[in-house]
């Protein structure tokens, strides 16, 4: 269910409160929610996931991203969250794609190579080719 991109981050489709407990048991230190509220009927709210994360001893950050695209502010917020995580992060959205995209863009700001990021994403089952030209320092 959690797709490991590298030792610092895994991504997932929408998670449940129970998934937060599993994430804590697997050693994750932070949950990053990249899904907007009420994107789909019946999805758990960010507040529910945040409270589950706190109860499990995990940090929680919400960086909602709509299908409309990414802003530099969101990419910088992701970069900052990853830097402050203190260990492995679990990021989620509807399918894991937006979380993977914003991770790759954030790592690109840090100077990571676009080809290396694409290879890591592909190994986890994600294709970052739509955003690959955008990866790099700004």
Percent of the chain's residues with pLDDT above 90: 91
Beta strand ranges found along 45-137 (DSSP E) = 59-62, 89-92
Which two structure tokens, joined as six digits, stand for 64? Answer: 């909602």
Q: Of 32-36, 97-101, 108-112, 134-138, where does mean pLDDT reach its minimum?
A: 134-138
pLDDT tens-digit map of 38-50: 888 889 999 999 9
- CATH class (in words) of the domain with range 3-134: alpha beta
Q: Which residue has the tokens 């610092």?
A: 8
> Mean of the pLDDT values across residues 29-41?
94
Report the predicted TM-score, pTM, of the whole model to 2 decimal places. 0.95
Task: Specify the length of the chain in residues.
Answer: 138
pLDDT of the residue at 138: 63
pLDDT band at residue 95 under the 50/70/90 scheme: very high
> Domain residues of the chain, as ranges?
3-134
């Amino acid at each position: 269910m959690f797709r490991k991109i590298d030792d610092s981050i895994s991504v997932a489709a929408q998670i449940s409160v129970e998934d937060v407990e599993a994430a804590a048991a697997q050693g994750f230190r932070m949950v990053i929610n990249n899904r907007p509220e009420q994107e789909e009927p019946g999805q758990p709210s960010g507040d529910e996931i945040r409270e589950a994360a706190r109860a499990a001893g995990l940090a929680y950050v919400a960086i909602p991203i709509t299908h409309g695209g990414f802003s530099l502010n969101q990419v910088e917020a992701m970069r900052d969250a990853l830097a402050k995580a203190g260990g492995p992060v679990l990021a989620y959205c509807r399918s894991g794609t937006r979380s993977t995209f914003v991770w790759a863009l954030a790592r690109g700001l840090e100077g990571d190579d676009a080809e290396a990021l694409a290879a890591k994403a592909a190994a986890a089952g994600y294709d970052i080719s739509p955003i690959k030209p955008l990866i790099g320092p700004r």
